A and B are shown apart, each in its own frame.
Chain A
């Protein structure tokens, strides 16, 4: 029969080939694991921060009971900190000490007092935000922004037990800021919500209507063929091209206000429309024709048969496709850069025509900033974005499993 060495060689080739295949999957999985690990480890410093726990005397001299908003809370905080270091009395010493505090150091104090004005005159213990350089130093990273004196002071504060680790509520509750320890994601998050609402309310009805027409009603001719080819090709057009369209048509021709969720949502709805049409068509196609025929058989018109029977049965499939499309829109950045959703916006947007930014653009903006502390903010924003996206995908998978039907 065959010589044994050839057989040996053939089986060696078989094992090699198989190992390559498995190796490819392992490499891809390892990349994903490395990526997620890297992001999480970078994000932790933005989520768990060092704070000073200080007992602060809410001085009635500095807060007017009638108008507590105008109080000098930062002054009280500074005073409370200084009490721990009585020998630091010179101007330079004070400056060094106060330089450790964040510009938003008194935020928690202020909100406590505003919530309960009876605290005025009393002494309360609250967490006080440190500035990002101090926070970094306490983690063992020296970014060269602190003086030796300040480093000594931080050491002393640690020894006195003043430093605690806390969850950075700032990150979730604040808008953007120039100060890394104050910069938050809320503005971008709300911006994303508004933008996606616009996208969804346009792309879903348009997509389903187009899919119904093409799958159920359109006569097969060169026009519908061209529309179909056009949709498939549009789905693969680079997203940045949609940005050019938005800039030239929506901003310059129609004069829709720049940087707003309205124009962002418009551009993204055109971007995901082909995806939704394709998914909806597949869902409509998977409904067996016998159901429609049964409806036609009892005298329903074609339109009635489709809207009463085919469409309801296709809804789970359409929703699954739509959720995946929306998830894609939620992570899209490039086209939004073209239409000005990239501005530095501190205020949380209140409507569709307020200037806003979105999560992925916020990621891009922060990633460009030189401060080391913004790096971890970026990573934290990414983690939040990924959690939202994975939640969307999980929902799509759940829907698919829950309503999966074998005809």
Chain B
């Protein structure tokens, strides 16, 4: 054979050390990059926790957690978080009452009923709504929706504040519709077709199949979608900063003005900050509460969704 010994076989023992060193360095860089996300979380926890501890050295923890008056600039100042939690809760409830049915029903319609043409129009519309910055929605809430609700309410003989919780909650609800809708749409589509077939073969109508088979099967996923939506509503800032106002009222009247945790954080930290005063530090304590609550909600929701997906894979 004339071809033999044209190529000398490389020795398996002789490693290309340069390449191995370079690749090891590349891997180290890549691993470090994935650590940045972890560092971010640690940074958030440490910075928020540190300033919060400074705050709690001045204001007792129990006063903060169970106080019913929020007046950081009062004399003497008072840092009771309950009115803020109440306001956040009120607006979140309004938002979910608006977004829940709208988001879920539009997801059901898109997943089960819509023709491809309707989907091709409706999906981009929802994505468009999802892409609108919240500062824009806040402007709309404050300058268009709030006056509208006020004049409607006044003509119905109601006493409506110019910065009513209802206006902020309504617009926040519309902001959340795409979130609930797209998450639920995915979840509903993940329900195996065989379950639907089983139901249709029994002579069930489409809505019976959706209500009695598809939705119960998708329930864990849909609940998680709602939890994520709640977490999003609690953490939303601009809509409430612009439309909900600063009055720390502990009320469940949707026509009254309330304030939220995020509004107070933003207000306390815009302008002059004094890191030695309880007023500025209280924003970090509020941030700690916000971070813990949303993290807990997100964690539960994401874990449930993950389990749900594994079930049908």
Chain A interfacial positions (CB closer than 8 Å to B): 10-11, 13-14, 16-18, 20-25, 27-29, 31-32, 35, 38-39, 42, 205-207, 209-210, 212-214, 217-218, 226-227, 229-234, 236-245, 247-249, 252, 270, 273-274, 277, 301-303, 327, 330-334, 337-338, 342, 360-361, 363-364, 367, 375, 378-379, 382, 385-386, 389-390, 393
CB-nearest residue of chain A to B205: A14
A337–B269 touching, CB < 8 Å: yes
Among the 9-residue stretches B62-70, B72-80, B158-166, B293-301, the one with 4 or more Cβ atoms under 8 Å from chain A is B293-301
B102: A residues at CB distance < 8 A: 24, 27-28
Among the 9-residue stretches B1-9, B27-35, B149-157, B249-257, the one with 4 or more Cβ atoms under 8 Å from chain A is B27-35
**Of the candidates B37, B47, B207, which one forms a contact with A231 in the assembled complex, judged by CB atoms under 8 Å apart?**
B37
A363–B135 touching, CB < 8 Å: yes
**Of the candidates B40, B208, B238, which one forms a contact with A364 in the assembled complex, judged by CB atoms under 8 Å apart?**
B238
Among the 9-residue stretches B89-97, B193-201, B228-236, the one with 4 or more Cβ atoms under 8 Å from chain A is B228-236
CB-nearest residue of chain A to B236: A238
Most-contacted residue by chain B among A39, A249, A333, A375 (CB, 10 A): A333
A386–B33 touching, CB < 8 Å: no
- Given the known interface contacts A230-B37, A301-B23, the answer about A240 and B136 at a Cβ–Cβ threshold of 8 Å is no
CB-nearest residue of chain A to B237: A334
A363–B44 touching, CB < 8 Å: no
B125–A28 touching, CB < 8 Å: yes
A244: B residues at CB distance < 8 A: 44, 47-48, 265, 269, 283-284, 287
* Additional A-B contact list (6), CB under 8 Å, known A218-B34, A237-B235: A31-B129, A238-B232, A239-B237, A241-B44, A241-B48, A360-B136
**Of the candidates B23, B34, B44, B262, which one forms a contact with A210 in the assembled complex, judged by CB atoms under 8 Å apart?**
B34
Chain B interfacial positions (CB closer than 8 Å to A): 19, 23, 26-27, 29-31, 33-38, 40-41, 43-44, 47-48, 50-51, 101-106, 108-110, 112-113, 118, 122, 125-129, 131-140, 142-144, 174, 177-178, 181, 205-208, 210-211, 228, 231-232, 234-238, 241-242, 262, 265-266, 269-270, 273, 275, 283-284, 287, 290-291, 294-295, 298-299, 302
A35–B270 touching, CB < 8 Å: no
B228: A residues at CB distance < 8 A: 236
Closest 9 CB pairs of A and B: A238-B235, A21-B109, A331-B133, A248-B47, A209-B33, A24-B105, A17-B207, A210-B34, A213-B30
B47–A249 touching, CB < 8 Å: yes
B27–A213 touching, CB < 8 Å: yes
Tell me, in angstroms, the Cα distance from A300 to B89 when the chains sit together: 57
B263 → chain A closest CB, angstroms: 10
B19–A301 touching, CB < 8 Å: yes
B210 → chain A closest CB, angstroms: 7
Tell me, in angstroms, the Cα distance from A348 to B181 when the chains sit together: 41
CB-nearest residue of chain B to A21: B109
**Of the candidates B103, B177, B262, which one forms a contact with A240 in the assembled complex, judged by CB atoms under 8 Å apart?**
B262
* Cross-chain pairs A/B with CB under 8 angstroms, 30 sampled: A20-B105, A21-B112, A24-B104, A24-B106, A25-B110, A25-B125, A28-B178, A38-B140, A206-B36, A207-B33, A213-B27, A213-B34, A230-B37, A233-B298, A233-B299, A236-B298, A237-B298, A238-B235, A240-B262, A241-B287, A245-B43, A270-B40, A277-B34, A277-B37, A330-B133, A331-B134, A333-B237, A338-B265, A367-B135, A389-B132
**Of the candidates B34, B40, B134, B210, which one forms a contact with A214 in the assembled complex, judged by CB atoms under 8 Å apart?**
B34
B290: A residues at CB distance < 8 A: 238, 240-241
B131–A230 touching, CB < 8 Å: no
Tell me, in angstroms, the Cα distance from A98 to B106 when the chains sit together: 57
A234–B40 touching, CB < 8 Å: yes
B207–A338 touching, CB < 8 Å: no
Most-contacted residue by chain B among A213, A240, A247, A338 (CB, 10 A): A240
A252–B109 touching, CB < 8 Å: no
B40–A240 touching, CB < 8 Å: no
B237 → chain A closest CB, angstroms: 4
Tell me, in angstroms, the Cα distance from A78 to B303 when the chains sit together: 70
A337–B270 touching, CB < 8 Å: yes
**Of the candidates A21, A277, A331, which one forms a contact with B108 in the assembled complex, judged by CB atoms under 8 Å apart?**
A21
Tell me, in angstroms, the Cα distance from A205 to B50 when the chains sit together: 31
B109: A residues at CB distance < 8 A: 18, 21-22, 24-25
CB-nearest residue of chain B to A231: B37
B269: A residues at CB distance < 8 A: 243-244, 247, 337-338
Tell me, in angstroms, the Cα distance from A378 to B178 when the chains sit together: 25
B34: A residues at CB distance < 8 A: 209-210, 213-214, 218, 227, 277
- Given the known interface contacts A13-B207, A206-B33, A337-B270, the answer about A236 and B232 at a Cβ–Cβ threshold of 8 Å is yes
CB-nearest residue of chain B to A29: B125
